[in-house]
Structure 1
Amino acid sequence: MSTMGRSYLEKLNRYLEKLPDEERMDAVMEIQSHIAEGIANGQPESVILSRLGDPRKLAKAYRSEHMGGLKNVKSFKDVLNIIGFYCTTGLLSVMVIPVLATLAYGFGFCTILIILAGIIRTFGASWINMSIGPGMEVPTQYSMIYALVLGAFIGGIAWFSWVGLKKYLAFLSERYRRSLPGSQSAR
């Protein structure tokens, strides 16, 4: 392997530093064997490296595969890590992901608060105000019904935002996976 090939692998290794050591080494070895196989089949190393593309983009593809979209989410920290990763993938992601995540989590939290306020107001907490508009106070006996209807509407926005976020992240993951060597569209 030439200096150009070793330099490519070093860059790839550096861009993969956030992966666990074993996965990082597997990825680098996979690309190294891909290059060696291509050279053995008579392809010029420069052609192989140009087909692999920018090592930074290839590293993002491996990191995306490691994260596996939202299937491996076990905690809120995992969600934040995935969102952080995809927010660095492009300008559209920097706008779409935070908006959808804010809507999903913010409106989800508001749904819980609205329903709790309806329950508390139903049992006599007069300090909780519920109104339909200016001068149109909701009677105390209808607080729970009002809270459930409003909570369902706000919860619906949260749910659709969450579904949209999952679909967008899955779409990005699939696009990155396609750029990995050995995938159907990378050949």
Structure 2
Amino acid sequence: MISAYGRSYLEKLNHYLEKLPDAERMDAVMEIESHIAEGIANGQPEAVILSRLGDPRKLARAYRSEHMAGHMSVRSIKDVLTMVGFYCTTGLLSVMVIPVLATVAYGFGFCAVMIFIAGILRTFGASWVNMTIAPGVEIPSEYSMVFAAVVSAIVGGIAYFSWVGLKKYLAFLSERYRRSLPGARSFEN
């Protein structure tokens, strides 16, 4: 009834659930297997059922989170502190860090491009483009391209380092999440 593709999905799910106790892992896999079989019996294509279930890694993450929430009372103090640290860094800090870094990265990146374009336009005679560095101090139009390139490089550098910082922060959060899972071992791909 379930094809080799469906069996492969279930095997992946089983692998990603390896940190759960055997009984809970088997219950989860059997529940999903039953869901797939029931959908096929009702005439739904297996591919549609599996696409609705989504990535087996994400589905396993949901089962592991449910397990963690249900078994908080039997966890060690170290595990509880790890989870508290994870939720503090992802909840409180991320509300500020992720939007700020993303806004700076994309906003400054856009501005770097626009500054460079403005330098090109001013160099070729666009008199409506102003380049003033202080009140009463304007860059001569023959130096517009050089000035725009330098300022664009600085602003682009800020955008780049914000982007790198955002990627590192998200990787940090992912690692913290993995450490807060039962067993505290990184999962393989």
Please report the TM-score for the alignment, with normalisation by the length of structure 2: 0.56
Query: How many Å apart are 1:20 and its aligned residue?
Result: 1.7
Contact 1:31 1:181 in 2 (8 A): no
Structure 1 CA distance for aligned equivalents of residues 149 and 74 of structure 2: 58
Greater C-alpha radius of gyration:
2
Question: Which residue number corresponds to residue 126 of structure 1?
Answer: 127
Distance 2:125 2:65 in 1: 67
Q: Is the 8 A contact 2:120 2:144 kept in 1?
A: yes
Describe the shift of the 1:131–1:162 C-alpha distance in structure 2 as closer, same or farther (beyond 3 A): same
Distance in structure 1 (CA, Å) of the matches to 2:185 and 2:62: 20
User: Alignment partner of 2:133: what SS?
Assistant: strand
RMSD, aligned α-carbons = 3.9
- 1:176 aligned partner: 177
> After TM superposition, which residue ranges in structure 1, 4 or more long, deviate above 4 angstroms?
21-32, 46-49
The total of aligned residue pairs comes to 130
2:155 is aligned with what amino acid? I
Q: Normalized against structure 1, the TM-score is what?
A: 0.56
Corresponding position of 1:146: 147
The match for 2:54 is: 20
Task: Report 1:50-129 matches (<5 A).
Answer: 50-51=74-75, 89-129=90-130
Q: 1:109 to 1:30 in 2, by over 3 A?
A: closer
1:24 Cα offset (Å): 5.5
Letter in 2 for 1:134: P
- The letter of the residue matching 1:20 is G
Runs of at least 5 residues in structure 2 that lack an aligned partner in the other structure: 1-23, 33-51
- Give unpaired runs (5+ residues) of structure 1: 35-45, 62-85
Query: Secondary structure at the residue paired with 1:184?
Result: coil
